[in-house]
Structure 1
Amino acid sequence: MTVTKAAQAFVLHKGGTFAFEERSKPTLQSDRDVIVRVMATGLCGSDVHYWQHGRIGPYVVEDPIILGHESTGIVVESGSGAAGLAVGDRVALEPGIACNTCNHCRNGRYNLCRGMRFAATPPYDGTLATYYRVPAECCFKLPSHISLRDGTLIEPLSVAVHSCQLAGFMQDKSVAIFGAGPVGLLCCAVARAFGASTVIAVDVVPARLASAVKYGATHTYQMSSEAADKNAADLLAMAGLEDGVDVALDATGAEPCLNGGILALTQGGTFVQVGLGKPNLSVPVGQICDKEIVFKGSFRYGPGDFKLAIGLLDSRRIRLDGLVTHEYPFGQAEDAFKNVAGRGGIKSVIYGPNVDEEEAKASSV
């Protein structure tokens, strides 16, 4: 099989240095494969963590790796078995390819597959390149009113959908969401779309809390340096929830937020851990037992989450306007990483090599 040297890539090397490199254009490996020209990629905290620390848990950068996994693109090649997809289709990419044969996959929890090949998780390359190959089931057509730029938010929106579904029935429930970064803001939007009557966004940054109101939060609370029980009590008093919140989601991974969420829960409430911080935190286990709290971990997304996320956008029950605050051409990709590391804005997007940025910003209607 012949390949051509026709693709650029933004590559992280061990030790934290970046380089622009020429890579072989991927080729179809099965009749279900498609080749996508990557148009835009949103940066995730995990990308920055690999750059700054070289590892996340057991996943270690030992060899050069292409980062990026929140991407949209245009189909440029399609296998004969890629039903429903054609050259020219605008798509969002689900960046994980499961084995589809293990017990977890067969039981409908492919996000737990041990054989998962997830983009930008060592040793698997990500999407900050000219082209990316995926099976057809990992391509989702964009609604006509969603631009390729804003479509990069479908991946983190799917994370929010998954975590909110883990929290259970939300109709007329009260929900506290700790962290008003991209995933936290999208959790606010999903919670409201799922029928929550009260959505409290919690953060330490006033500007992020101001943004949360645009994306579904009915209340905001600025965390203080006080103890977790004081913050929890003040949060509940502000929202007029004497008995506590029904659901708490932590999109930070920070110990004060995790503790504050548990303390703010009502008896029998549900807590979902969405964000990752230090691997070992102090948790008020006594409160979990006394209140008989349901404590759940949330990992990426599973069957139906991408489809539901796109459905929420297609129906306009969720809007993404304004979430992308910083945009970079491919040649300035490292500047994008520095901006995210410095917590600039909400979401940073890198356009693919040789992409017309105006095309990427435009919808197809």
Structure 2
Amino acid sequence: MSSIKVESSDNLDLAIPKIMSVAYLQKPLEVSIEQEDVPSVSGREVLVKVMAVGICGSDVHYYAHGRIGNRLVTYPHIQGHECAGIVVATGDKVTRFKVGDRVAVEPGVACMSCSWCKEGRYNLCPDVQFLSTPPVKGAFVQFLKHPEEFLFPIPESLSFEHASLAEPLSVAIHAVNRGKLKPGSTVVITGMGPVGLMTVVAAKAYGAKEIIVTDMEPLRLETAQKLGATQVIDISSTDTIKEIMQVTSGLGADLVFETSGNVRALQSTIEMVKRGGSVVTIGFPNTEEVPLNVTLMLQKEIDLFSVYRYTNTYPLAINILVDLGSQIEPIITDRYSLEQINEAMYQAYANRSNSLKVIVFPN
């Protein structure tokens, strides 16, 4: 992989060209660079020069399989939704931003008028337009048009690539909120992909005392320790349930977060959690139906929470990332230019052992 020179906002060219480069997913495992007109903005719209985009697990699913559940890609498709950049133009009704402002982009644009939006659960809005979720085009572009309500200022001390992590960190923050994590809790987090690692960060920020994590990849377990895990369990060589019971003096964890989507991992959460504890499911399984031991759940009176994206998390996510500074750096393992998008996507898809978060730099 060639090295990438990342510009600071001090020397960025804020001129707006007429044509921009765009990465189009043409079919499974094939992305091409095409040219498109740079979008114009009006009203409350903001034009963002996209400086960094993280590749998400959902991007990998669409890239490799062309679908997630009943959501099908219509080719060609633009992927990418974890992004940050700099404002280069504003519509005539924009009040919160000006040219030159550095921003993180919340990718889901909700209607803000349906019953779910009005009760604050806009992640459940039936009309949400979420970047890169078909048929909505995503952020692997040089310039992105986005409503000002879903942009958030970032300080100079936070790099664009670190700011792009506000999106997966938001998933983790929403998960710990759903699970009602209390300071001093003992938590188990299964799966140390980027969202699992961000759940380590969120659990620590919320005051968890013991953070036990599971995976089978050494890089992922090592990174989890760097980010705050107090105990790591290699599931390939350890009886996971027995180990968790030993660590928790036979009680089980207060909270278990399942981030991997692995069916056996989800089923095992019922055994990992203590009586009266909670299980929070984040990762999507590769099958629509997963058998669970409901009898044991009833006997232990377990609360089961599911997580779908997030609501009202970006300001806190940005603050956490600012406080962490360079401590978050181990999660970013790969950097590519937009022209290297094929290599970037394939790295995220095929190299679980040596790759965590892959960042693409469109400009």
Q: What residue identity is the alignment partner of 2:119? A: N
Does residue 145 of structure 2 align to residue 145 of structure 1? no
Q: Which moved more, 1:256-265 or 1:179-188?
A: 256-265
Please say if residues 33 and 78 of structure 1, whose CA atoms lie closer than 8 Å, have aligned partners that are also in contact: yes
Please say if residues 80 and 132 of structure 2, whose CA atoms lie closer than 8 Å, have aligned partners that are also in contact: yes
Counterpart of 2:26?
A: 13
TM-score by length of 2: 0.91
Q: How does 1:115-194 map to 2 (within 5 A)?
A: 115-194=127-206
Please say if residues 14 and 62 of structure 1, whose CA atoms lie closer than 8 Å, have aligned partners that are also in contact: no
Please say if residues 158 and 301 of structure 1, whose CA atoms lie closer than 8 Å, have aligned partners that are also in contact: yes
Counterpart of 2:35?
A: 22
Q: Deviations over 1:293-323 (max 9, x none)?
A: 1101101111x21111112223449942221
Does residue 243 of structure 2 align to residue 234 of structure 1? yes
Which SS does the other structure have where 1:158 is aligned? helix
Q: What CA distance in whole angstroms lies between the structure 2 residues aligned with 1:315 and 1:18? A: 36
1:283 pairs, out of 289, 292, 301, with 292
Counterpart of 1:52?
A: 64
Q: What CA distance in whole angstroms lies between the structure 2 residues aligned with 1:41 and 1:217? A: 26
Does residue 223 of structure 2 align to residue 211 of structure 1? yes
Please say if residues 215 and 235 of structure 2, whose CA atoms lie closer than 8 Å, have aligned partners that are also in contact: yes
Counterpart of 2:122?
A: 110
How far 1:5 moved relative to its partner?
4.7
How far 1:29 moved relative to its partner?
3.6
Q: What residue identity is the alignment partner of 2:241? A: A
Q: Deviations over 1:140-167 (max 9, x none)?
A: 1113221112211111011111111111
Which SS does the other structure have where 1:349 is aligned? strand
2:360 pairs, out of 341, 350, 353, with 350
Q: What CA distance in whole angstroms lies between the structure 1 residues aligned with 2:89 and 2:283? A: 36
Q: What residue identity is the alignment partner of 2:360? A: I
1:332 pairs, out of 316, 340, 348, with 340
Does residue 315 of structure 2 align to residue 307 of structure 1? yes
Which SS does the other structure have where 1:41 is aligned? strand
TM-score by length of 1: 0.90
Q: What residue identity is the alignment partner of 1:97? A: V
Which SS does the other structure have where 2:146 is aligned? strand
Please say if residues 30 and 342 of structure 2, whose CA atoms lie closer than 8 Å, have aligned partners that are also in contact: no
Q: What CA distance in whole angstroms lies between the structure 1 residues aligned with 2:200 and 2:278? A: 16
Counterpart of 1:263?
A: 271
Percent identical pairs in the alignment equals: 35
Q: What residue identity is the alignment partner of 1:12? A: L
Which structure 2 residue ranges, 5 or more long, are not aligned? Answer: 1-15
Give the direction of change, closer, same or farther, for the CA distance of 1:167–1:317 in structure 2 (3 Å limit): farther
Which SS does the other structure have where 1:126 is aligned? coil
Q: What CA distance in whole angstroms lies between the structure 2 residues aligned with 1:4 and 1:86? A: 18
Please say if residues 119 and 127 of structure 1, whose CA atoms lie closer than 8 Å, have aligned partners that are also in contact: yes
Counterpart of 2:8?
A: none
Counterpart of 1:297?
A: 306
Q: What CA distance in whole angstroms lies between the structure 2 residues aligned with 1:277 and 1:286? A: 21
How far 1:16 moved relative to its partner?
4.5
How far 1:4 moved relative to its partner?
7.7
Which structure 1 residue ranges, 5 or more long, are not aligned? Answer: 356-365
Does residue 264 of structure 2 align to residue 251 of structure 1? no
How far 1:101 moved relative to its partner?
1.1
CA-based RMSD of the aligned residues comes to 1.8
Q: What CA distance in whole angstroms lies between the structure 1 residues aligned with 2:30 and 2:346? A: 13
Q: What residue identity is the alignment partner of 2:25? A: L
Does residue 91 of structure 2 align to residue 79 of structure 1? yes
Counterpart of 1:362?
A: none
How far 1:65 moved relative to its partner?
1.1
Give the direction of change, closer, same or farther, for the CA distance of 1:317–1:290 in structure 2 (3 Å limit): farther
Q: What CA distance in whole angstroms lies between the structure 2 residues aligned with 1:324 and 1:4? A: 30
Which SS does the other structure have where 1:114 is aligned? coil
Q: When the two structures are aligned, how many residues end up with a matched partner?
A: 345
Which SS does the other structure have where 2:283 is aligned? coil
Give the direction of change, closer, same or farther, for the CA distance of 1:4–1:190 in structure 2 (3 Å limit): closer
Q: Deviations over 1:133-189 (max 9, x none)?
A: 111111111132211122111110111111111110321110000011111111011
How far 1:338 moved relative to its partner?
0.8
